[in-house]
Amino acid sequence: MADVQEVDVLIVGTGPSGSSMALHLIQQNPAWARRIVMVDKAVHPREKLCGGGITHMGLNILAQLGLALEPQSFDVREVRLLYEDKSYSFHGNPVFCIIRRSEFDHWLLQKAESLGVTVRQGEGVTNVTPHEDYVEVVTEKAVFHARVVVAADGSRSFVRRRLKWDDDSRVARLIEVLTPEDGRAQPEFRDGVAIFDFTPMTTHHLQGYYWDFPSYVQGQPMMNRGVFDSRARPERPKADLPQTLRDEMAERERNLDDFEIKGHPIRWWSKDGRFAIPRVILVGDAAGADPLMGEGISFALGYGDVGARAIVDAFARGDFSFATYRERVLANPLFRQLETRTKLARFAYMLRYPWLFRLGWQVARLVVRFTRWRNPDYVPTIPPAVTLEVTGIQYSVVSDQ
Ligand SMILES: Cc1cc2nc3c(=O)[nH]c(=O)nc-3n(C[C@H](O)[C@H](O)[C@H](O)COP(=O)(O)OP(=O)(O)OC[C@H]3O[C@@H](n4cnc5c(N)ncnc54)[C@H](O)[C@@H]3O)c2cc1C
């Protein structure tokens, strides 16, 4: 057996939730950097199936860490929601940004690494065994005894499976394709319009929507097109996702057969879920994300904040039960919003009563007219400069060490 390496915090997974956890711990105290090891089976920049939309909630968490978005991004100035022949829009400057996950995740991880965190890539975790005083984590190359393990390993979390996590969490289904486009000749690119089309709820029994996200891949304009099926009502029959995507693309004069379909689940958030066991906490998709719209990046970043406070507290008190981690998550405003979205998903995707959905649609359309989202100049993000000073001092202390 390989030599055992002792570590205070072992983070499994280097997506946004894993990196955010490391960065938030360092924000609490720069000395944490040397106490963290991050492992990932992939090597960055790695592909991650995702629309890449980051809302102001995620951008504001980055800003509070003193980070301005550096990877190339596409500003969405209008989010247009369609249902049958009706539509309404959210406006903003921007409403949200679209990034490529391979670039974004790599960038965020490099931020943690540059502050002194040990990052081990291309090293999958193959076993996890909790003990009273430590958790043994076996990877393809080493054995660790960690005082705390953070499972940031996504919707199909290996850690969850290995530890036979006993809650009945569910997953949403998503498929997507990338289609080459003309770029600024098209209104979506020229005016920055992202589309969420809920019509397949009626035409294909989908519990979700079809999306068109304009983006750039290595400088080339590409439309990210996909279908989100929340399965918020698991008792209803499953929609045929490839057929839904095919029909929606045909309406936009694209043939699905010309492109490669890729799919991946998103684990739902549930307030009744189990978020921790002694010495192990879940973050990001391993813990759960949004069943209404499929938003996960902002929540992945937010778990880093709540999780880091719980870990600092555990070490301070010498109590690694994480008995209050769930309460901490539930008390956080970001996750209170996730709870609202979970309720809304169950209501909105109540297919048996489409008239109810139409009614809700009309109400939402009216409400938006009275919010700041009607204003194309509305800036929902906070500038990183506000907090850069604070965290910047902490960071420079670390890099000087
Ligand atoms: C098709 C699709 C479209 C989406 N679009 C959006 C969107 O537009 N906006 C949005 O906000 N959210 C979107 N999401 C959700 C978003 O992608 C996730 O919420 C987000 O990736 C969660 O981040 P994470 O860090 O928890 O996990 P991940 O980003 O999945 O990272 C998990 C990491 O763990 C590693 N790992 C897994 N197993 C092991 C192991 N055994 N050992 C070591 N490492 C391991 C993986 O290699 C990976 O790097 C979308 C999801 C899908 C599937």
Provide DSSP, 206-238.
Answer: -SEEEEEEEEEETTEEEEEEEEEE--SSTTSPP
- pLDDT computed for residue 330 by the predictor: 96
**Rounded CA separation 116/110 (Å):** 10
> Which residue's CA is the closest to the ligand 1 atom numbered 31?
15
**Starting from the edge strand earliest in sequence, which strands make up the sheet with 86-99, in order?**
53-55, 86-99, 73-83, 193-197, 208-217, 220-229, 171-180, 262-267
**CATH at 201:** 3.50.50.60
Alpha helices in 133-186 (DSSP H): 158-162
Q: How far, in Å, CA of 33 to CA of 115, rounded? A: 6
Joined together, the tokens standing for residue 171 give 């997953």
Ligand 1: distance of its center to the CA of 146 in Å? 23
Token couple for 319:
């109590």
Give the pLDDT confidence score for residue 41 in this predicted structure. Answer: 98
Q: Per-residue pLDDT for the chain (401 aa), expressed as one digit of tens each? A: 668 999 999 999 999 999 999 999 999 999 999 999 999 999 999 999 999 999 999 999 999 999 999 999 999 999 999 998 889 999 999 999 999 999 999 999 999 999 999 999 999 999 999 999 999 999 999 999 999 999 999 999 999 999 999 777 789 999 999 999 998 889 999 999 999 999 999 999 999 999 999 999 988 999 999 999 999 888 888 999 999 999 999 999 999 999 999 999 999 999 999 999 999 999 999 999 999 999 999 999 999 999 999 999 999 999 999 999 999 999 999 999 999 999 988 888 876 777 888 888 888 889 988 999 999 999 999 887 444 333 443 443 333 22
Residue numbers of the domain that contains 174: 4-400
Question: Distance between CA 248 and CA 239 in Å, rounded?
Answer: 14
- Type of residue numbered 269: W
Q: Distance between CA atoms of 123 and 120, rounded to whole angstroms?
A: 7
The finding on whether 201 has its CB within 6 A of some atom of ligand 1 is no
Residue nearest to atom 15 of ligand 1 (CA): 296
The beta-strand segments (E) located in 218-300 are 220-229, 262-267, 276-277, 280-282
Question: 94: cis peptide before it, omega within 30°?
Answer: yes
Ligand 1 pocket member 233 (CB < 6 A): no
* C-beta 139 within 6 A of ligand 1: no
Instruction: Kindly state the tokens that stand for 75.
Output: 């500003």
Whole-angstrom distance, CA of residue 374 vs CA of residue 368: 7
Q: What does pTM read for this prediction?
A: 0.94
Q: Which two tokens mark 281?
A: 């906490």
CB 306, CB 331: distance < 8 Å? no
Count of domains for the chain: 1
pLDDT computed for residue 301 by the predictor: 98
Angle among Cα 395, 399, 400 to the nearest 5 degrees reads 115
* 353-382 core/surface letters (b: 16 or more CB in 10 A; e: else): eeeebeeebeeeeeebeeeebeeeebebbe
Helix then strand then coil, % of the chain, to nearest 5: 40, 30, 35
CA 105 to chain centre: 11
Q: How far does residue 169's CA lie from ligand 1's centre (Å)?
A: 17
User: What is the CB neighbour count within 10 angstroms for residue 273?
Assistant: 17
* 3-state class (DSSP) for residue 293: coil
How far, CA to CA in Å, does 325 sit from each of 18, 160, 257?
17, 16, 46
- Check if 284 has its Cβ closer than 6 Å to any atom of ligand 1: yes
Q: Is any atom of ligand 1 closer than 6 Å to the C-beta of 17? A: yes
- CA 361, CA 345: separation in Å to the nearest integer? 13
Phi-psi region of 36 (alpha: psi -120 to 50; beta: other; left: phi over 0): beta
Cα radius of gyration (the chain): 21
DSSP-based three-state secondary structure for 164 = coil
Report how far ligand 1's centroid is from the alpha carbon of 50 (Å).
8
CB 277 within 8 A of CB 286: no
Any atom of ligand 1 within 6 Å of the Cβ of 226: yes
Say what the pLDDT of residue 152 is: 98
